[in-house]
Amino acid sequence: MPMPAHETMSSDGGKCCAVLELAVRNHPGVMTHICGLFARRAYNVEGIACMPTGDGSSSRAWLMVNEDERLDQVVKQVEKLHDVIEVRRHEGGHPVFGGLEPYFRS
């Protein structure tokens, strides 16, 4: 049975189960802080999309991640980052990644 367009596969062939939608302050280094937090916890980010919003002083980022027992703790750590304004968690994927999928087909 084919997956809906907004559900995507993880690097290990499993279905990605969660997308974190972050509202962040937009300045150089913000994504480094966020991705560094995931890297220090050996938690792989399967996909990233980010765009500035409004007047450009903030951005919205979507992180596609595999859901496991560590995700709640990682989300709590992300929420503590100074430049993160809000974190929303979407179970079962998000259409933003389904819209990108045609660009990554070989």
CA distances from 35 to 15, 55, 81, 99, 105 (A): 21, 24, 11, 22, 25
- For the chain, what is the radius of gyration of the CA atoms? 14
Q: Residue 78: beta bridge partners?
A: none
pTM of the predicted model over 0.85:
no
How does the average pLDDT of the chain come out, rounded? Answer: 86
Q: Is the pLDDT of residue 5 over 90?
A: no
pLDDT at residue 98, as a whole number: 83
pLDDT at residue 6, as a whole number: 45
Sheet arrangement for strand 18-25: 45-53, 58-65, 18-25, 84-91
pLDDT tens, position by position, 36-76: 999 999 999 999 999 999 999 999 999 999 988 899 999 99
Phi then psi for residue 17, to 5 deg, are -110, -15
Q: Is the pLDDT of residue 1 over 80?
A: no
Task: Pull the structure tokens for residue 106.
Answer: 């070989």
Name the DSSP letter for residue 76. Answer: H
Q: Residue 90: beta bridge partners?
A: 19
Task: Pull the structure tokens for residue 101.
Answer: 């999928």
pLDDT at residue 15, as a whole number: 56
- Give the residue, 7 or 5, on which the prediction is more confident: 7
